[in-house]
Amino acid sequence: MLTRAAALWRTGLLSGWGGGRGLWTGRPQSDTDNAKPLEGVKILDLTRVLAGPFATMNLGDLGAEVIKVERPGVGDDTRTWGPPFVDTESTYFLSVNRNKKSIAVNIKDPQGVKIIKELAAVCDVFVENYVPGKLSAMGLGYEDVDKIAPHIVYCSITGYGQTGPMSQRAGYDSVASAISGLMYITGPEDGDPVRPGVAMTDLATGLYAFGAIMAGLIQRYRTGRGLFIDCNLLSSQVACLTQIAANYLIGQKEAKRWGTAHGSIVPYQAFKTKDGYLVVGAGNNQQFATICKILNLPELIDDSKYKTNHLRVQNRKELIKILSARFIEEVTKKWLCLFEGSGIPYGPINSMKEIFEEPQVLHNGLIMEMKHPTVGKISVPGPTVPLQ
């Protein structure tokens, strides 16, 4: 197959984008630190943009060999998303495509389809995010791949599902975020709906796909048979509505926007300080009492209006006004010192610069430096779950 692929490379049916799998995390690693439970697992990745690439990048972080298939001459859409760029490379693309070997295959050509099938036959997982039916029309749907690779774990990531009235629509994060209700509940209390700062619907779908693929591999190892996985943006985001959805389904309570606050817990929000913001949460009465002591407002502890969380929610506006007036009297750093060691959940609202200077972020190894074949050393957010 490799000889044949080399010949196709010369004809333009298959070409390479370049790769580079050497990673450096910025800290020494032992053999146990480098545990790669998916070593030997091969992923054939036909996804583009974010949800699919995020899922396969996480698989690659666990040691899987990811072969990313892109369109000849164009590649993944996100290669052009910018600025910023590093040389000619989009930082967006670089952020979710580490640990991958990129090739370009024209899947509209029968020879390209044949290449994909040959690769699928020797891979363990097939991931794609085309509109339902598009790959089937090319001979690369699950039924087609299953015939030549019955062991394959085939994961399809779409906007709205394989069937139904919206199934043929293209799926983009912002649109799915709007339709699923996430945008409806995000933003200032008295303001317009707001798109979350990152594509949380795409990222959540990528994580659901990642988990489902892991489960599929376990089943494959038990039975020898693969399976079909149907992930979509709409279902993922509706599932992530959790208690907001339950409030409506069980209690028929319509949702609303709360800004940084919480609909069911008070106080639990950002407070403006003299030079920034501090987020503080009181999940129980003891934590509320501790906050009052730190703020030097002990009279609030036994106030009948604030004795329980239910009462604090009922009297939210009055209580938040009192707390806000106190928080704005001091700079953020002073509040951080006062809350340190208190057992209260608290933290500043950080800029990007502040995030990557945060001692805990550095300690957790969340800045990963890696060698890129064309632009040299770059830094990206590192894996979140180290395995030892």
Q: Which residues are catalytic?
A: 202
Question: Which residues are CB-neighbours of 284 under 8 A, at least 6 positions away?
Answer: 309
Report DSSP state, residue 300.
G
Of the candidates 149, 148, 159, 116, the one whose C-alpha atom is nearest the C-alpha of residue 135 is: 116
Is 269 within 8 Å of 320 (Cβ atoms)? yes
Dist. CA 185–CA 170, nearest whole Å: 23
Q: Give the number of other CB atoms < 10 A from CB of residue 168.
A: 14
Of the candidates 259, 270, 275, 93, the one whose C-alpha atom is nearest the C-alpha of residue 186 is: 259
State the amino acid at position 252 in one-letter form: Q
Annotate 173-227 with DSSP letters as a single string. Answer: HHHHHHHTTTTTT-S-TTS-----SS-HHHHHHHHHHHHHHHHHHHHHHHHS--E
Phi, psi of 4 (to 5 degrees): -65, -40
Of the candidates 208, 205, 236, 212, the one whose C-alpha atom is nearest the C-alpha of residue 226 is: 212
The bridge status of strand 14-18 relative to strand 100-105 is antiparallel
